[in-house]
């Protein structure tokens, strides 16, 4: 198999088949809901996941913006990789099919093939190994639109420049999102000294498996406590009330400038199209 074919397959798997940890978390959420509305929303969600897998059709019609996080084999050129990824998006848009989602921001013209300036989004680094790891997020517009960046301190939220301030920013973002981004959400939090770094960091947290634990001191405790606070807001599946507003909170923290403190909150919708491919020696493995 060549890498182009392998990436087309990665896009197809991501769009049509939800990762097992997310599906399990949704099934477990259903068992914790008692209200008719949240139960009905989660049942439709689970039924939809099965329908998509069975028919090999996209789980959600918004197949999103493909965001590739590439860890490239030693000696790989960025340009070559970027060409492969863009071409794979064009092919997948035709054959899966994906929705052509690249629109000229000023004229509104849809390119028709899913590719445009800056789309797909590619983050690229090289490492010493002889194989590639390509992580893919297909990020829907609904959940992207409810994401938010905060600059601390923020007097209105009572948020100072500390871990409690981060907590307040996350709770505020979820409250403002209500049900507009397709809850239950997966919440990524990035804390950093520049707003671009905070934004990429929060996005990267959406690649983590729901059950993984941060090794960084205190972060895991923060994630668990804030998750339970988010779920006490009662927004619920589809925003129609209930106990499950988020499935996970995932945070990472970088150093900051003494004067700056950015908190970026990224939302993944329940249809969390996250897949990883390891590609080497003409063989692809997906997880």
Partner 1 sequence: MSKAIALTAPLSLDQVRSLAAGDEVRLSGIVVTARDAAHRYLVERDDSDGMPFDLGDGVIYHCGPIMRRVGARWEAVSAGPTTSDRMEIYEPRVIDRYRVRAILGKGGMGPATVEALKVSGAVYLAAASGAGALLARKIVSIKRVWKLEDFGEPEAMWELEVRDFPAIVAMDTRGGNLYAEVERRSAEALATLRGKRFGG
x/- letters, 1..40, toward partner 1 (CB under 8 A) = -----------------------------------xx--x
Alpha helices of 1-138 — where are they, by DSSP H? Answer: 3-16, 20-32, 36-55, 78-95
| Terminal C-alpha separation, the chain | 17
DSSP strand E in the chain: where? 65-72, 121-126, 132-139, 148-151, 185-192, 246-253, 262-268, 273-280, 283-286
**Nearest to partner 1 of 168, 208 (CB atom):** 168
Please tell me whether residue 216 binds partner 1 under the rule CB under 8 A: no
Q: Which of 1, 2, 20, 47 binds partner 1 (CB under 8 A)?
A: 47
**Nearest to partner 1 of 19, 237 (CB atom):** 237
Please tell me whether residue 97 binds partner 1 under the rule CB under 8 A: yes
Q: Minimum Å distance from CB 106 to partner 1? A: 14
Find the part of the chain contacting partner 1 (CB under 8 A) among 2-10, 53-61, 84-92, 204-212. 53-61
Find the part of the chain contacting partner 1 (CB under 8 A) among 82-90, 161-169, 194-202, 279-287. 161-169
C-alpha triplet 194, 177, 168: angle, nearest 5° = 55
Q: Using an 8 Å Cβ cutoff, are 136 and 277 in contact? A: yes
Residue 253: phi and psi, rounded to 5, are -130, 130
**Nearest to partner 1 of 190, 268 (CB atom):** 268
Q: Using an 8 Å Cβ cutoff, are 100 and 113 in contact? A: yes
Residues numbered 254 to 273 that lie near partner 1 (CB under 8 A) are 269-271
Report the C-alpha gap between 287 and 278 in whole angstroms: 9
Q: Using an 8 Å Cβ cutoff, are 153 and 219 in contact? A: no
Q: Contact positions toward partner 1, by CB under 8 A?
A: 36-37, 40-41, 44-45, 47-48, 51-52, 55, 57-63, 97-101, 103, 108-110, 112, 140-142, 145, 157-158, 163-164, 167-168, 171-172, 175, 178-183, 222, 225, 229, 232-241, 269-271
């Amino acid at each position: 198999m060549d890498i182009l074919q392998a990436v087309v397959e990665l896009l197809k798997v991501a769009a049509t088949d939800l990762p097992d940890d997310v599906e399990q978390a949704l099934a477990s959420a259903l068992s914790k809901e008692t209200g008719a509305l949240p139960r009905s929303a989660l049942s439709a969600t689970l039924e939809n996941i099965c329908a998509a897998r069975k028919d090999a059709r996209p789980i959600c019609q918004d197949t999103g913006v493909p965001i590739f996080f590439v860890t490239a084999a030693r000696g790989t050129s960025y340009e070559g990789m970027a060409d492969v990824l863009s071409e794979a998006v064009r092919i997948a848009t035709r054959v899966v099919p994906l929705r052509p989602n690249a629109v000229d921001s000023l004229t509104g013209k849809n390119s028709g093939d899913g590719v445009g300036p800056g789309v797909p989004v590619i983050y690229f680094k090289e490492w010493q190994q002889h194989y590639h790891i390509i992580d893919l997020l297909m990020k829907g517009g609904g959940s992207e639109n409810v994401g938010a960046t905060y600059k601390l301190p923020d007097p209105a939220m009572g948020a100072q420049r500390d871990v409690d301030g981060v907590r307040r920013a996350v709770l505020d973002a979820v409250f403002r999102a209500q049900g507009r981004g397709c809850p239950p959400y997966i919440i990524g939090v990035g804390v950093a000294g520049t707003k671009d770094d905070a934004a990429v960091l929060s996005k990267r947290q959406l690649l983590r498996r729901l059950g993984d634990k941060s090794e960084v001191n205190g972060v895991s405790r923060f994630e668990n406590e804030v998750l339970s606070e988010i779920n006490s807001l009662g927004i619920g599946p589809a925003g129609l009330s209930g106990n499950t507003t988020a499935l996970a909170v995932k945070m990472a923290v970088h150093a900051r400038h003494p004067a700056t403190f950015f908190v970026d909150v990224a939302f993944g919708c329940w249809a969390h199209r996250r897949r990883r491919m390891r590609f080497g020696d003409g063989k692809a493995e997906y997880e």
